[in-house]
Structure 1
Amino acid sequence: MENEGLGELNVKIVDRCLVPPCMPSPQDTLYLSNLDNQPVVRLVFNTLLVYEGCENKLAEPAKTIREALSKVLVYYYPLGGRLRKKEDGKLQLECTGEGVLFVEAMVDNSLSVLRDLEYLKPSFKQLLYTFPFSTDVEELHPMVIQVNHFTCGGFVVAVTFHHSVCDGRGLGQFLKGLGEMARGDAMPSVKPIWDRELLKPSKLLVHDLDLIEEKRGSTSDSWPPPISKESIQISLSLESKAIKCMKQVIMQECGEICTTFEIVTALVWRARTKALEIPYIQSMDVLFAVDGRESLNPPLPNGYYGNGFGVACAKATIHELMNQPLSYIVSIIKKAKMSITDKYLKSMIDEDQFTGDVSSNQGNILLSDWRWLGFNEVDFGSGWPVDVCTMQWNENGLNLSNGFIFLPPNRKIDEFKMITWMDPQEFMLFKIEIEAIINKYVEKN
């Protein structure tokens, strides 16, 4: 097709409806924890699941998923409700029984036009049902699912959700349950647990003040940060073999086990610092989410799908980032990960005050690891997705010009894939620095 050669999408909405639970659900108002009310999660986010056409492809993906949605919402009925503001400004969830907004669309292209979602084109936004950024939270649907049919027989499932209702792990749990119901299971294999009262503030208020003050010292009270109009969403893939070489050399240097997350985070931290030429007078932080479900005492129960993470803050000076060996930077990241303890998480909940602006210093990075959230294991009946990605625009209210997301691996290519939001010229400088650092370690091996 002509538009396919241009790499643009032509998407036509063929149906839009609310899908309620197939059985009556409770009509009540549910508590949202302080972790659900953090400024950093009071926003809309999305994910795309890409499925190729194959011999065992679904005959009618949208119909299958819509019917499964009505069944799984019997167990996840809060997702079909609405967010409401309390007098103190915090959010709660009203279970209205209205259901999840479901959209079916036809695309006059084959999946090849997406090019593994390596570069976000404006027309790709049609794959998602989005609300204007000015939309009041009470007018939003906590979840929207759009199924896009492509001419090749493949399809893309786009899920838009409000982060206050669930975190990434919770969304992955829901989507896998949705897939199970689509494949004919009677109920989700993991029983969903809403119980946000598990994270109510205690009356003891025993705070880990040092860590909380350290986090405050690197942020301000506003969220989201000012929007950068110049940054675009773009992906970067690294050879898995090269990452393994780096890991082997660095573990020899530091004499301890290192994870791929720690290695790549250190790599991104150093390369971006050098590419942006951050002045030596500045310090620089990396903030990243750490799942705290098992860190809490007692741990959150299996099936809990609310926000259960803490934000770790790795801090370093520009001099350290540019002159210390990469193993030293890895050790800083390890220390930050270890800070997300039971005491710290409960301090966050008790403190009842959250900050999340990483824009006060242009070098700061906000990073999220999607590799283990389960998005790449969602099977609606034709196998797992070949690709998983997100798409965020400035009008979504997010400034991700300082953000990185580590994505689940592409089923066809053995690479480590990440997406970021940068000015194109800055991205080229960043990519050059990444390759230079990797080459040094590959040569050592």
Structure 2
Amino acid sequence: MEKAGLAEFNVKIVESCLVPPCLPSPRATLYLSNLDNQPLVRTDSNVLLVYEVCENVLPDPAKTIREALSKVLVYYYPVAGRLRKKEDGKLQVECTGEGVLFVEAMVDKSLSVLGDLDQLKPSFKQLLFRFPSNTAIEDVHPMVIQVNHFACGGFVVAVSFQHMVCDGRGVGQFLKGLGEMARGHVKPSIEPVWYRELLKPKNIPVHDLELTKEKIESTSDSWIPLIYKESTQMSLTLDFETVKYVKDGIMLECLDNCTTFEIVAALVWQARTRVLEIPHTQNVSIFFAVDVRRSFNPPLPNGYYGNGVVAIGAQAIAHDVINQPLSYLVNMIKKTKMSLTNEYLISIIDTDQFLLDIYSNQANIILSDWRWLGFNEVDFGSGSPVNICPIYWNENGPNISNGFVFVHSPKRKCDAFKVIVWMPPQEFNLLEIEIEAITNKYVVNGSNY
């Protein structure tokens, strides 16, 4: 008998079409900020939203979502346009009104073949339409939506979006608005704000900042292990009780509050560095994306769906990452987050100096927290998704080998959350062992209090 979640399946495309706004939209060329043009977001991001059969089952999810899409694009009309390159290489959006690519597909099995999306099989990439990697940026649609009907009556909505046009929080806002239109709302409850000119360089000199050249150059180093050729997208499940034991122990050590993100970031940084057996004198960096909408003075307006994220990083030699207590790493991460002042943000936007290819050194870790982007609140009329999951593929398989993404666990596992990782299976197994060994110390000590 085939194990649930590990089965292969076939996806048949029923229809593929462009969905334009249902009303005429403005024709204009729109500015993209330096945050939209930073190197790290010149890529696409992808997410699967899983919907089980329920009492309020939609009779035709694809039709419902397609019609709602044409309505929500009246408010998000730039998403129906196309990216264009300027002479200086920067990107902008031409509002053409052409529309979002919409794909309807049928899957020959029930949702049970997906399991909890803890491990992705090659057939899973059929759920998501992606343009070939050599497609010119002018020919890539800012957003693609594929609705997959499963034999059981459940469905999966797969969304691919160009990160240059909107970040994860912006897409979450868009999808929640799409769901509202599908449920009969006249307009989205949050009015979208494009106004990227808010982040135009102001050319105000800022001094005494540990700025970009030194930090950028330090992201690449001499030791780069072999690129993973057979990475698999898998997930770690961390229950809240264990994380609470770790958090309580660390707060006793450092006499300061800390967040779950800071705890788990430190945990995976230490565990993965041990697994890779990195030379002890080697610098090891941890990078994470931070939402800076509220860090500006004044903050970016509610409804802003452009890129409001900046990647920042902390660095230590491998010996310290491996051997120092977890509280040491937590404090490093906390200090790094505190460095994102309004002055620092203005300076990197003005100078257009962002972290470059932080993925090139396999010793680095790159973290992203998807728990608060709103994907788990997207309701097309049959309730919110029972599971969400990022999915990344190139022609040869998953294309991230040092990324970690925090997501909510499936609804039936509400006492935990997941960390999506891309690693060879044998190294993933070692990572689980290391994390268990680290957390067990805190659990045992906590149980003795």
Ranges in structure 1 where 5+ consecutive residues have no aligned partner? none
Which stretches of structure 1, 4 residues or more, deviate above 6 A after TM superposition? 1-6
Of the structure 1 ranges 298-307 and 408-417, higher mean CA displacement relative to structure 2 is found in 408-417
Assess if the C-alpha contact under 8 Å between 2:194 and 2:305 holds in 1.
Answer: yes
Assess if the C-alpha contact under 8 Å between 1:208 and 1:344 holds in 2.
Answer: no
- Classify the secondary structure of the residue corresponding to 1:345: helix
Cα distance change of structure 1 residues 107 and 271 upon mapping to structure 2, 3 Å threshold: same
* Residue equivalent to 2:339: 339
Cα distance change of structure 1 residues 263 and 132 upon mapping to structure 2, 3 Å threshold: same
* Residue equivalent to 2:440: 439
Assess if the C-alpha contact under 8 Å between 1:311 and 1:340 holds in 2.
Answer: no
Residue 239 (structure 2) pairs with residue 239 (structure 1):
yes
* 2:426 alignment partner AA: Q
Distance (Å, rounded) in 2 between the aligned partners of 1:227 and 1:197: 39
Q: Percent identity?
A: 68
How far did 1:233 drift? 1.1
Residue 34 (structure 2) pairs with residue 19 (structure 1):
no
Distance (Å, rounded) in 1 between the aligned partners of 2:359 and 2:95: 36
Cα distance change of structure 1 residues 208 and 70 upon mapping to structure 2, 3 Å threshold: farther
* 2:356 alignment partner AA: G
Distance (Å, rounded) in 2 between the aligned partners of 1:306 and 1:410: 28
* Residue equivalent to 1:330: 330
How far did 1:440 drift? 1.1
Q: Deviations over 1:370-401 (max 9, x none)?
A: 00110101111111111010111233997411
Ranges in structure 2 where 5+ consecutive residues have no aligned partner? none
- Classify the secondary structure of the residue corresponding to 1:262: helix
* Residue equivalent to 1:202: 202
Of the structure 1 ranges 179-188 and 310-319, higher mean CA displacement relative to structure 2 is found in 310-319
Distance (Å, rounded) in 2 between the aligned partners of 1:116 and 1:371: 16
Residue 216 (structure 2) pairs with residue 185 (structure 1):
no
Cα distance change of structure 1 residues 189 and 226 upon mapping to structure 2, 3 Å threshold: farther
* Residue equivalent to 2:50: 50
How far did 1:249 drift? 1.2
Q: Deviations over 1:274-321 (max 9, x none)?
A: 111111010111100111100011110000000011112111221221
Q: Deviations over 1:46-76 (max 9, x none)?
A: 1110011111111111111111101100000
* 1:111 alignment partner AA: L
Residue 290 (structure 2) pairs with residue 290 (structure 1):
yes
Distance (Å, rounded) in 2 between the aligned partners of 1:79 and 1:207: 37
Distance (Å, rounded) in 2 between the aligned partners of 1:317 and 1:246: 23
How far did 1:230 drift? 2.4
Distance (Å, rounded) in 1 between the aligned partners of 2:250 and 2:151: 47
Distance (Å, rounded) in 2 between the aligned partners of 1:210 and 1:31: 29
* 1:286 alignment partner AA: I
- Classify the secondary structure of the residue corresponding to 1:202: coil
Distance (Å, rounded) in 1 between the aligned partners of 2:257 and 2:203: 39
Cα distance change of structure 1 residues 374 and 405 upon mapping to structure 2, 3 Å threshold: same
* Residue equivalent to 2:426: 425
Distance (Å, rounded) in 2 between the aligned partners of 1:408 and 1:340: 26
RMSD: 2.0
* Residue equivalent to 1:300: 300
* Residue equivalent to 2:275: 275
Distance (Å, rounded) in 2 between the aligned partners of 1:89 and 1:323: 44
Distance (Å, rounded) in 1 between the aligned partners of 2:230 and 2:353: 32
How far did 1:356 drift? 2.5
- Classify the secondary structure of the residue corresponding to 2:164: coil
How far did 1:105 drift? 0.6
How far did 1:328 drift? 1.1
How far did 1:243 drift? 0.9
- Classify the secondary structure of the residue corresponding to 1:395: coil
* 2:160 alignment partner AA: T
Distance (Å, rounded) in 1 between the aligned partners of 2:208 and 2:381: 47
Assess if the C-alpha contact under 8 Å between 1:228 and 1:399 holds in 2.
Answer: no
Distance (Å, rounded) in 1 between the aligned partners of 2:406 and 2:396: 20
* 2:444 alignment partner AA: E
* Residue equivalent to 2:316: 316
Q: Deviations over 1:60-106 (max 9, x none)?
A: 11111111101100000000000001111110000000010001111
How far did 1:244 drift? 1.2
Distance (Å, rounded) in 2 between the aligned partners of 1:392 and 1:40: 15
* 2:33 alignment partner AA: S
* Residue equivalent to 2:357: 357
Assess if the C-alpha contact under 8 Å between 2:109 and 2:150 holds in 1.
Answer: yes
Assess if the C-alpha contact under 8 Å between 1:220 and 1:356 holds in 2.
Answer: no
